[in-house]
Amino acid sequence: MILAIILVVVSLTLYSYWWFRLRKVSIYLLDYSCVKCSDDYKTNLESMLYFYQQLGSISPPDMVFQLKVFLKSGIGEEAYVPRVNLQFGRRLALQHSHDLAHTLVIGSVHQLIKKMCIDPRDIDVLVVNSGTFSPTPSLSSTIINHFKMREDVRSFELDGMGCSASLIAIDLAKDILQARHQVFGHRHPRLALVASTEVINSFYEGSDRSMMVTNCLFRCAGNAVLLSNRASDRSSAKFKLLHLTRVNTAARNESYNCVIMQEDEKGNLGAKLSPQLLKVASNALTLNLTRLAPRVLPFIELARVAFHAIKMWISKTKALEPYVPNFKLVFNHFCIHPGGKAVIQGIGTSLKLNDDDIEPSLMALHRFGNTSCSGIWYILSYMEAKKRLRKGDKVLQIGLGSGFKCTSAVWKVLHTINEPNLLENPWGNCIHRYPVRDQLSSLPHVQCCIDYVKNSKEYGGYKL
C-alpha cells in the first residue's frame, strides 16, 4: 500500500514537471491588422510614366522596358506608392521616410490595439521588421515611445531580412513566448506584438535593367500581429500556430547574390535582382517543404514519396521526375508571397494547385502590389473578407526573401469567420470587385501603352 502511494506521488510529480516545464506551449494568433494607405498614395501607370518624363534621366527605351515589366507583373493600378517618391525621386529625405514609417507601422499597430481593446502596457514582447529603412532610434523604440509601453518590454528589430521577415519575426516571438520562466525572471511573457513594414525610400534612376525591376514591383504596406501563449486565449483567438519552418541558403553564392542592394557604376542606389531569382526561389522552397512534409503529410503520402525515390534510385535515370506530394490533402488555403505573377504561378504549378488556390495571392498582388514581408497577411485578409476560413481549416503561408530565405508557417483556423468586419479589413470597400481577370486591359490609357509596346521596335524617336 505504501509502495503504491509512493508510485502515485512520483508519477504525479513527474507529470507535473512535464506539464509545467517540458510541455510545448501553444501559440495563438489573437488577431492581426493590415494598414490601408490613403487614396492619394495610389499610383497608376499614367502617373508613373509622367514621373519618368519629368525626371529627364530615364531614356525612352528604359521607360518602355519598365512599362513591359509593369504590365507583366500582375499589379493593378491601385497599389500604393508614396507621392513623395514621385516628387523627389532617388532617395527620400530622412524625415519623409520617418513620416511614411509612422503611417505604416504606427497605423497598423494602432488599428490592431483598437480592434483588440488592449492596453499597450500589457504587451510583453515587441518584434519589428523593416526591409530597407533602419533609423536611429529604431522603429521598435518609435512604437514604444508612441504607445508608452512598459520599461521592461522585450523589444527586437529585424532589418534587411527581405520579404520573408514577417514569418521570421513570428518565429522569434514564438521562441520567446515558449521560453521557460527562469529565462526572463518573475514576469513570464504572455503577449507578443509583431509589426512588419516595407518603407520605399529610394527610386532607381540608373540604366541597369536588373535594378529597374524593383521600381515596377514594390509597393508600401504594413501589418501588425498579436500573439499569445495563454491557454485562456484559445476561445477568442483566430488561429493556432502548428508549425514554422525556416531555410536559409545564403551559403551559396548564387543565392546570396540573388537579391542585393548596391550602387551601379554611376553611383545610383537600387536593389539588383538576378536572372536566377526564380531558380533560387524554387530551390529554397523545395528545401523548406522537404523539411515541412514529414511533420504534416499523412503516412500514405510519405510512403509514396519514399517509393518513388527508391524507384528513381534503382532505375538510375533522370527520365523520372521527382514525386510532388499532394499538399492539398493537408492544407485548405495557401498564402504564397506575392512577389510577382510568375512567382505565384510557378509555385502553384510546382505544388499542383488550381486557379482557386492561387487566386488570393494573385488578387493581393493585383490590389496592393509586392508588399514585401506584409504580403502574406493581405492574402489572409482577402480569404477572411471572402468568408473562406472555416473552423478546422489549415493555412500554409510561404515567405520568400533575399539571402535567399524561405519560411513557411502552418496555421489552424480556430473559429469559422462568417461575418468579417469589413470596416477593419483592407479589402472592405473593394472585395465585391474581386476576383478580377484582366482589369488592366480595360483601362483606355493602359491599352494605348500596351498597343505601343506591341508595335514598338525602334525607340529613338519615342516621346511621351
Write out the chain's pLDDT in tens, 464 residues.
666 666 655 556 555 554 445 457 899 999 999 998 888 888 877 777 777 777 777 777 888 888 888 888 888 888 888 766 666 555 567 887 888 888 899 999 999 999 999 999 999 999 999 878 888 899 999 999 999 999 999 999 998 888 899 999 999 999 999 985 444 444 578 999 999 998 877 778 888 888 888 888 888 889 999 999 999 999 999 999 999 999 999 999 999 999 888 888 888 888 888 888 889 999 999 999 999 999 999 988 888 888 877 877 777 665 567 777 889 999 999 999 998 898 999 999 989 999 999 999 999 999 999 998 999 999 999 999 999 999 999 999 999 999 899 999 999 999 998 877 778 899 988 899 999 876 554 455 555 665 655 555 443 333 33
Single-letter residue type at 296 = V
Architecture, CATH, for domain 25-464: 3-Layer(aba) Sandwich (3.40)
Strands 239-248 and 405-413, how do they pair? antiparallel
Q: Which of 199, 203, 198 is nearest to 269 (CA)?
A: 203
Cα separation, 139 vs 156, whole angstroms:
9
For residues 374 and 252, the answer to whether their CB atoms sit within 8 Å is no
**DSSP single-letter state for residue 93:** P
- Up-side HSE of residue 187: CA atoms within 13 Å toward CB? 12
Q: What is the pLDDT of residues 223-254, one digit of tens each?
A: 999 999 999 999 999 999 999 999 999 999 99
Measure the CA dihedral 400/413/431/433, to 10°: 80
For residues 199 and 101, the answer to whether their CB atoms sit within 8 Å is yes
For residues 405 and 228, the answer to whether their CB atoms sit within 8 Å is no
- Up-side HSE of residue 30: CA atoms within 13 Å toward CB? 22
Q: Which of 29, 260, 39, 353 is nearest to 166 (CA)?
A: 29
Q: Which of 57, 427, 47, 26 is nearest to 228 (CA)?
A: 26
Cα separation, 76 vs 367, whole angstroms:
6
Alpha helices (H) along 56-205? 60-73, 83-88, 94-101, 107-116, 139-147, 165-177, 181-184
Cα separation, 377 vs 413, whole angstroms:
14
Q: What is the pLDDT of residues 410-426, one digit of tens each?
A: 999 999 988 777 788 99
For residues 424 and 385, the answer to whether their CB atoms sit within 8 Å is no
**DSSP single-letter state for residue 236:** T
How many helices (H) does the chain have, and how many strands (E)?
17, 11
Give ∠ CA 424-430-436 in degrees, rounded to 5.
Answer: 135
